[in-house]
């Protein structure tokens, strides 16, 4: 307070007001008000969460549910593109999801404990891919499947 002389006060108040306005603006984008750049309302900001290859659109998210000893995908048809597999371990043993096929050399999610989940992002081209769990002999136990990308 000692430093705030009569002239500094309004400036600081204005700055604080601006910050408040900005905060209000970004959270509730409908009431944008008419101050400053009224036209550019096109860039919110929660753009892409984590996908590194942001070239041609966002990754398609597919859920891969794993149990003993099975992998179930939330979709069965695939077009070429980038996919983020959300791997959910609903079993009791550790599992992972490993993918191999054209352009993908055995890319694996982290090994997940029972109840855990993780993600694996791969870019799929036209062709056949194999998805399996690389933990112990789970692949031989049945955690092994093929998908066709077309």
| Residues in contact with Cu ion by the rule CB under 5 A | 95, 133, 135, 138, 143
Using the minimum distance from each CB to Cu ion, give the nearer residue, 82 or 89: 89
Q: How far is the CB of 134 from Cu ion (least distance, A)?
A: 8
Using the minimum distance from each CB to Cu ion, give the nearer residue, 95 or 101: 95
Q: How far is the CB of 109 from Cu ion (least distance, A)?
A: 11
Would you call 137 helix, strand, or coil by DSSP?
coil
Contact 98, 75 (CB under 8 A): no
Using the minimum distance from each CB to Cu ion, give the nearer residue, 124 or 135: 135
Q: How far is the CB of 41 from Cu ion (least distance, A)?
A: 48
DSSP letters, 91-136, are: SSS-B--EEEETTEEEEEPPPB-TT-EEEEEEEE-SEEEEEE--ST
């Amino acid at each position: 307070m000692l430093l705030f002389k009569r002239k500094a006060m309004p400036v600081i108040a204005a700055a604080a007001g601006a910050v408040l306005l900005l905060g209000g603006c970004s959270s509730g984008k409908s009431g944008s008000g008419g101050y400053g750049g009224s036209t550019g309302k096109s860039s919110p900001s929660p753009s892409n969460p984590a996908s590194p290859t942001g070239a041609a659109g966002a990754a398609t998210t597919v859920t891969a549910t794993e149990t003993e000893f099975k992998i179930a995908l939330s979709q069965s048809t695939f077009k070429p593109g980038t996919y983020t597999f959300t791997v959910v371990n609903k079993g009791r043993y550790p599992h992972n999801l490993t993918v191999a096929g054209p352009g993908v050399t055995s890319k694996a999610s982290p090994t997940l404990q029972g109840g855990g989940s993780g993600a694996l992002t791969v870019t799929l081209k036209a062709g056949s891919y194999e998805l399996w769990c690389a933990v112990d002999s789970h692949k031989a136990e049945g955690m092994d499947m093929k998908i066709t990308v077309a």
